[in-house]
Chain A
Amino acid sequence: MSADTMDGAGGRVPRMAMERWRPMLLLFPERIILPVLTAAGLLLVWEIVVRHYEIPPALLPAPSQVGQRLWEVLPLLLEHAVPTTLESALGFVLASLLGVGLAILLTYSRLFSAAVYPTVVVFQLIPKIALAPLFVVWLGIEMQSRLAFAVFISFFPIVIATEAGLRNTPPDMLRLCKALTATGWQIFTSVRLPYAVPYIFSGMKIAVTFAIIGVIVGEFISAQKGLGYIIIFASSQADTALILAAIFVLCVVGLALFGAVAAAERLVVRRYGFA
């Protein structure tokens, strides 16, 4: 009895292996060269338009001017990038722990879920940015205020995604576990949590960008340092090139944090071996 003759699926496995190779060989130029070309093209158009129409730098500096300003103030920008990055990262980690924890409670206690979940959904819907000044009123202008706001703003996507993930286990899989007299803890660790992992990470990818938004908004309102502070300061000086240079550094910070989450996802996915 051979699997191939019985299923008529003999060609299937080799084909799957092929498909895994193809992206690496074919998509490499597409995935690297094309986006770089697009970005370079946009910058070029920007440069030409600014020069041709002689747009004043206070309105819109050319990319070359932004680059020059970036180079001049890079040490300052990096210094201010440190608190922004640390507060975003810390806020995100706290939000992840709290969010996953709350989602577990929501899935395991019907009563708790009935009591709390509607409130979570309502909070998810309100524009949380509007609450930022309240955090300053309550917690002052120090780090804890920005951190609390970053946690607050990035926490809900994680709760919602994790909750959906934990409910994602196929019902027959749960039946099988119960038929094997698995304990609740065994079902949680070996079935429900792994099924939720992709969901948790997609929630975390949203949350990490939200955490940065939270910290920047906090810095707009209250900070004496950080990239958000630099942006507000530069705009009061009409130093548009500095604003854009700070935003560029902010993009790098955002990419780095997002990349860290994506790398962690890749690691966990490889560890668990999701196909």
Chain B
Amino acid sequence: MSYISVDRVFKIYGGRQGPVEAVSNVSFAVEAGEFVSILGPSGCGKSTLLMMLAGLEATTAGAITIDGRTVTSPRRDVGLIFQDATLLPWLSVLDNVLFPIRIMKGDLATHRQKARELLDMVGLGDFHAHKPAQLSGGMRQRVAICRALIHDPHLLLMDEPFSALDAITRDDMNMALLEIWQRYHKTGVFITHSIREAVVLSDRVLVMTRRPSTVVCDIRIPFARPRGRDLGETLEFNAICRTLREHIEAGHRRDRAA
């Protein structure tokens, strides 16, 4: 059985202007250690799907199973990263990284050492005593990554973590995330609306479209790891990007026809 299995999941929000079908009949599976991106235009239900994986939203129909257990509430072996770093502004970088340990009443002394190692790894070793406001957007997002890793979760759920960053910083963050993956062997679900980012990072890319908000294709990315910056220049890379774009555009055409 797969590590994550999403089985005919629907999500319908009851809104003021009538119900909104945010996720419509989505099924897929993720194996342990896999990095899967979900690619789609904004508003197609990606965040909703991720929140259901995190146990923060209930499914309207269908079931999500992680590690053999149906998801009904948040599980502690999951790390979350959002588009905004969502650091606590009054805590130092180090204390922000340790925040999950505080909440879970873990051992602060041993984890402090680990937090320093994580910060070193993302190049923020000298910034552990800084406040979030003293860091750039990319640095803050790196702190958020460390925070998501501090309690050693099996699964990382990432909701457009680099969408708010400029293109150059974003490329750097992609490389940093690849390195982290090389090192920590997590399972990952990564949401993005950047085709190239999805291809650079993932083992598989799922394309989601609007109306109905469902997964229309599931493409395996064959590139070996470790991957580097030059990956994006290969012909095969660009061919995969083109295929994905065609799937997204087909979704758009259907959208307009509807």
By a beta-carbon cutoff of 8 Å, the part of chain A in contact with chain B is: 1-3, 6-9, 12-13, 16, 170, 172-173, 175-182, 186, 190-191, 194, 272-275
Contacts and interface: CB of A to CB of B under 8 A. Distances in A.
B90 A13 contact: no
B221 interface: no
Contacts of A273: 90-92, 131
Nearest to B92: A273
A12 B172 CA distance: 18
Most buried by A among B55, B102, B136, B137: B136
Interface-central residue, A176, A177, A190, by most chain B CB under 10 Å = A176
Contact of B103 (A2, A12, A182, A194): A182
A199 to B, nearest CB: 14
A1 B88 CA distance: 25
A178 B172 contact: no
B84 A16 contact: no
Contacts of A191: 88
B191 to A, nearest CB: 13
Contacts of B131: 273, 275
A260 to B, nearest CB: 22
Contact of B74 (A1, A6, A9, A180): A180
A172 B83 CA distance: 9
Given A6-B123, A9-B138, A190-B103, A179 B80 contact: yes
Contacts, number: 96
Contact of B124 (A3, A176, A177, A186): A3
Give the interface SS of chain A, mostly helix, strand, loop or mixed: helix
A6 B142 CA distance: 11
Contact of B88 (A173, A179, A181, A186): A173
B51 interface: yes
A175 B51 contact: yes
B84 A179 contact: no
A179 B91 contact: no
10 contacts: A3-B139, A7-B172, A13-B130, A16-B134, A172-B86, A177-B103, A190-B102, A191-B88, A273-B92, A275-B89
A8 B103 CA distance: 34
A180 B90 contact: no
Given A6-B176, A9-B139, A191-B88, A180 B100 contact: yes
Given A1-B122, A172-B86, A180 B139 contact: no
Interface in B72-119: 73-74, 76, 78, 80, 82-84, 86, 88-92, 99-100, 102-104
B80 A175 contact: yes
A12 B126 CA distance: 14
Contact of B82 (A7, A12, A176, A178): A176
Interface string B131-166: 111111111001000000000000000000000000
Interface in B233-249: none
B257 interface: no
B172 A179 contact: no
